[in-house]
Amino acid sequence: MAALELKVPAVGESITEVTIGEWLVPEGGSVKKDDPVVVIETDKVTVELPAPADGTVTKVKLAKGVVAKVGDVVGLFEAGPMVKSAKSDAESATSAKDAPARTEAVRVMPAAARVLAQAGMSAGEVQPTGPGGRVLKEDVQRTVEERARAPKAPAAVPAPRTGGAREEELVPMTPLRKRIAQRLVEAQNTAALLTTFNEIDMSAAMALRKEHQDAFVAKHGVKLGFMSFFVKAAVDALKLVPQVNAEVRGDAVVFKNYCDIGVAVGGGKGLVVPILRNAETMGFAEIEQAIAELAARAQAGKLTLEELQGGTFTISNGGIYGSLLSTPIVNPPQSGILGLHAIQERPIALGGQVVIRPMMYVALTYDHRLVDGREAVTFLKRIKECLENPARMLIEV
């Protein structure tokens, strides 16, 4: 049977160049139809090239890290039963004394393949528990943990050294990281960026969230988080101050009558900003469900190019990593970004008394070419009002 060519797929109209990522199925490895074979990385999204049929990867033509163009052949594939190589036969004979023979090739799930690569292990070192003998991510993690707990022989006392290790490692930027760097520099060089701050007493929002959490989960199947509060508040503030939702286009200002809110999340390859389309029409439950789905797909590298393009405003929550205060950078051509930070109990003056309250600093970075200081302060003040009096925003329970 003639070999099939595995080619770089079209991943977006504006993308012509990609970088070959991790080979999830090595040369000589078997795979089922539609299972991922190799990761294809671009400056916007990461996709997995699926197997065209049940069969075997017979040749890896482009290794990890190689830059290729759409349509380039990355490897060869033969449909049908697994093709055994002399190498695999020799390995099987060597290992027959230590492990029971397997009647079929070990199938490694994509997430498990990544953890195997990070740990420097092979699939044969892991006891699979997945359906059909598949190696799961949890199987690899369990093996790594077991090895870490295993007693180790005492290390020999090293001879005194006059200095520490001075090693360097050169790691190429991924296409996504290159694109992020380019966009950040572009924003700094083309926009007149300025940041203004405020602080929010989160007591009311926290109490309301706690009061309705059980009913919310029971009805909608997802937890009520603070991000939905801020998305709803941002929509309200963008309607009040439409300049923050606009963009500079040449010598004109383009105002938007819709709110496509980008929510920054950490993906497997770096920070990505999937878009909540028409957030002004979404309720709390729809927002929470959409964010949960987008975040999970970002971690798995499954976001599409369309889901990352066209936002009108961005919210970035550095507080989940412990950030107390920061100045986020606008994502061009947008004119504003709201930065959220950690909630900390702090003393504040309230009604002539010093009281302890859960406080959060918020920051709005904006393009001063379009947004004046008065408008930026008004925007943040409305965010503060919405969070400190959240009963004004309908909760779907």
For residues 240 and 292, is the Cβ–Cβ distance under 8 A? no
Work out the number of other CB atoms within 10 angstroms of the CB of residue 165.
5
For residues 387 and 204, is the Cβ–Cβ distance under 8 A? yes
In three-state secondary structure terms, 341 is strand
Q: Cα dihedral sign for 294, 298, 300, 306? A: positive
Work out the number of other CB atoms within 10 angstroms of the CB of residue 345.
10
Identify the active-site residue in 34, 89, 214, 368: 368
Which residues on adjacent β-strands are paired with residue 365? 195, 337
Q: Which residue has the tokens 């991922």?
A: 36
DSSP assigned state of 122: -
| CA–CA gap between residue 265 and residue 296 (Å, rounded) | 10
Terminal-to-terminal C-alpha distance of the chain: 60
Per the annotation, the verdict on 34 as an active-site residue is no
Cβ neighbors of 211 (< 8 A, separation 6 or more) are none
| CA–CA gap between residue 270 and residue 260 (Å, rounded) | 21
* Cis amide linkage into residue 158, ω under 30° from 0: no
Region of residue 152 (phi > 0: left; psi between -120 and 50: alpha; otherwise: beta): beta
Q: Please count the CA atoms within 13 angstroms of the CA of 316 that sit on its side-chain side.
A: 22
DSSP assigned state of 99: S
Which residues on adjacent β-strands are paired with residue 361? 199
Per the annotation, the verdict on 372 as an active-site residue is yes
Read off the amino acid at residue 348.
Answer: I
Show which residues are catalytic: 368, 372
